[in-house]
Amino acid sequence: MSSVMWFRRDLRLKDNPALLDAIASDPNVFALFVLDPVLWGQPGSVRTNYLIDSLSKLNTQLAGRLVIRSGSPSVIVPNFAREVSAGTVHIAADFGPYGQKRDNAVEGALTDFGVDLVRVGSAYAVAPGRVRKSDDTPYRVFTPFYKVWTTHGWRTPADSIPKNFVFQSAPTEQLPQPNLIPGLTLPPAGEEAAWKFWGEFKEKALAHYADDRNRPDLAGTSSLSHHLKYGEIHPRSVLAGLGDSDEVFRKEICWREFYADVLFNTPQSTHASLNEKFDVNMPWASGATAEEHVNAWKQGQTGFPFVDAGMRQLRAEGWIHNRVRMVVASFLIKDLHIPWQVGAPWFMQWLRDGDIASNTHGWQWTAGCGTDASPFYRVFNPITQGIKFDPHGDYIRRYVPELAHLSGAAAHEPWNTPDGYSHHYSRPVVDHKVEREVALANYAAAKENFANSGS
Ligand SMILES: Cc1cc2nc3c(=O)[nH]c(=O)nc-3n(C[C@H](O)[C@H](O)[C@H](O)COP(=O)(O)OP(=O)(O)OC[C@H]3O[C@@H](n4cnc5c(N)ncnc54)[C@H](O)[C@@H]3O)c2cc1C
């Protein structure tokens, strides 16, 4: 007999309880990764390329014994288990809508072959569904969730796998070749890179995180999101490295857990607003001008430097700083009057850390229709936000070459400088002051219609 460790979003050997469980249940362990056509993006897409790098690093750690198979998991996993005479298949539980459906289908198919699917651990310090109110309902507000999450606590990191443990080998497909989009640069993937980034951040930036985390011009955040997304490091390992004074950072880790919990409890929220009046009554923009605006936003050609720098950072690095994510999302929704459901898939297409829970609810929070949301009337000013959080204009000059000739904060307001447009930077596509009023009027009307509809 043997056991199978089916890797998914847990591409690491350290602090991996499912892997330890596979080894404990039978020392003949096969390591499997399935290239699932549903999740495997377009060839050349950001996350596909990142994943190829991550899998190739994992394969090296496994001395070339990672078995790759492509196809539907509910066919591939049972067939593989039968091929290697496995009694059990071990996984970290997935709590996303697609992941749960897939795992249930695989479990059913394995049962037909007399093989057990064993779920141990998850991608979270506290698994979604565990933090509940005293009346056993889920939280929709972050702060009380955070308090209960902290009190609930989490396990200490799991032991390492035995030194020089040898995985079994089986015929494998080759990993696809990376095929990176021109102009896009991705950081190195894998467990070693994750621990390196985490170590450097802890040493150099964690102490200043509370002050610097909103500054996109500084390296003030951890850049761990893509490593956490693919489980190259577990949040439990990160939390174990924090001290009492690191509460601001601990809270950010908890936001990721909170959004996973919200999605687990409301799986329809991947496409529907938690506050349903948004989807029913808001008079969103449509037609040719709206399409042009969306296109300008996607290309970073809106004429608002902070927005354009963010949207170009996305396509250059597959990442945007959190403060800028909020501003560009707000701009699409409240200045261009486009529903969040248009912006969220664009982010998912381009983000190297694209995560269905954090992305969906980051968008809904900014739109003012989600959990604990910033109220709709709080409209980010894309100009003053830029001046406040990129006070010297360095972030703008890094991503918008048409404004690189402007010094200091002048890069945020080319319209105030005689040669602001000498390098053909776009003129603003809208007037922020006007569109802010339109957004507020639209929202008031939507609320009114909703009340009148008796819903
Ligand atoms: C519109 C929008 C979309 C977003 N989409 C995603 C996404 O697809 N994937 C994703 O991982 N994050 C998303 N975020 C959250 C956040 O922007 C990123 O997690 C963060 O910028 C990643 O950089 P970092 O690792 O340096 O963060 P740090 O500031 O170093 O934070 C450490 C970790 O905490 C978690 N975290 C921090 N802030 C948040 C947050 N607001 N929500 C959830 N988790 C958080 C992340 O795992 C992050 O790696 C989104 C935010 C917004 C406003």
**Which residue ranges have their beta carbon within 6 Å of ligand 1?**
213, 221-225, 228-229, 252-253, 255-256, 259, 322, 325-326, 329, 347, 351, 353-355, 358-359, 362-363, 366
Give distance in angstroms: CA of 299 to centre of ligand 1.
22
The verdict on residue 442 lying in a domain is: yes
Nearest-atom index, ligand 1, CA of 348: 8
Say whether both 382 and 294 belong to one domain.
yes
Token pair recorded at residue 368: 């003012």
For 364-427, give the DSSP string.
HHHHTSSTTPPPTT----HHHHHHHHSTTSHHHHHH-GGGTTS-GGGGG-GGGSTTTTTT-PPP
Give distance in angstroms: CA of 439 to centre of ligand 1.
26
Give distance in angstroms: CA of 431 to centre of ligand 1.
29
Contact 201, 174 (CB under 8 A): no
Residue range(s) defining the domain that contains residue 424: 269-452
Say whether both 132 and 205 belong to one domain.
yes
Say whether both 68 and 146 belong to one domain.
no
CATH at 366: 1.10.579.10
Give distance in angstroms: CA of 195 to centre of ligand 1.
18
**454 band by pLDDT with thresholds 50, 70 and 90:** very low
Phi and psi at residue 205, in whole multiples of 5°?
-125, -20
pLDDT of residue 453: 57
CATH at 20: 3.40.50.620
* Arithmetic mean of pLDDT, 101-107: 98
pLDDT of residue 339: 96
The verdict on residue 171 lying in a domain is: no
* Residue where a domain stops, chosen among 98, 122, 146: 122
pLDDT higher than threshold 90 for residue 373? no
Query: Going edge to edge, which strands form the sheet with 66-70?
Result: 66-70, 29-35, 2-7, 86-93, 116-122
Say whether both 63 and 150 belong to one domain.
no
CATH at 241: 1.25.40.80
Q: How far apart are CA 356 and CA 177, in angstroms?
A: 25
* Residue where a domain stops, chosen among 105, 122, 139: 122
Question: Could you tell me which residues come within 8 angstroms of residue 381 by beta carbon, excluding any fewer than 6 positions away?
Answer: 432, 436
Say whether both 280 and 201 belong to one domain.
no
* Residue where a domain stops, chosen among 245, 265, 285: 265
Among the residues of 241-355, which ranges form H helices? 247-265, 277-281, 288-299, 305-317, 322-330, 340-350
Residue 120 is which amino acid? V
pLDDT tens profile 162-218 = 988 999 999 999 999 988 888 999 999 999 999 999 999 999 999 999 999 999 999
Q: Tell me how far CA of residue 49 lies from CA of 145, 176, 193, 328, in angstroms.
A: 35, 9, 16, 25
Q: Looking at the whole model, is its pTM more than 0.95?
A: yes
pLDDT tens profile 215-270 = 999 999 999 999 999 999 999 999 999 999 999 999 999 999 999 999 999 999 99
